């Protein structure tokens, strides 16, 4: 039998998702600050090259930072709630489904 996940409890799930959203809000603030700093540094060192250069840089840094933080946030969510421990490992002899 597959054990229930701690995220099946609505109270624990609400707390976990609130924590995840708080992490994502802080990462959004950090990302916007980092993109602004990168654009400023590039402008100071190169001058006005092309608007497409700055748009591509902002999108590249922003997308990479937000995707990375979203995936790491989900790892923290899964690990922090105990969701990782409630799997059935087919290679483990102790957790065979009968």
Q: Tell me the pLDDT tens digit for each residue of 39-91.
A: 999 999 988 888 999 999 999 999 999 999 999 988 888 877 777 777 776 77
The answer to whether 62 and 5 have CB atoms below 8 angstroms apart is no
13: confidence class by pLDDT, cuts 50, 70, 90: confident
| Across 27-34, average pLDDT | 96
The answer to whether 56 and 39 have CB atoms below 8 angstroms apart is no
Tokens of 60: 């590249």
Tokens of 37: 């700093």
């Amino acid at each position: 039998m597959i054990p229930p996940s701690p995220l099946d409890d609505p109270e624990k799930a609400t707390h976990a998702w609130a924590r995840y959203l708080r992490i994502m809000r802080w990462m959004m603030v950090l990302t916007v600050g980092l993109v602004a700093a990168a654009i400023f540094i590039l402008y100071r060192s190169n001058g006005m090259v092309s608007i497409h250069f700055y748009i591509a840089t902002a999108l590249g840094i922003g997308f990479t930072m937000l995707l990375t933080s979203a995936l790491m946030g989900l790892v923290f969510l899964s690990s922090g709630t105990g969701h990782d421990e409630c799997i059935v490992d087919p290679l483990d002899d102790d957790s065979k489904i009968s």
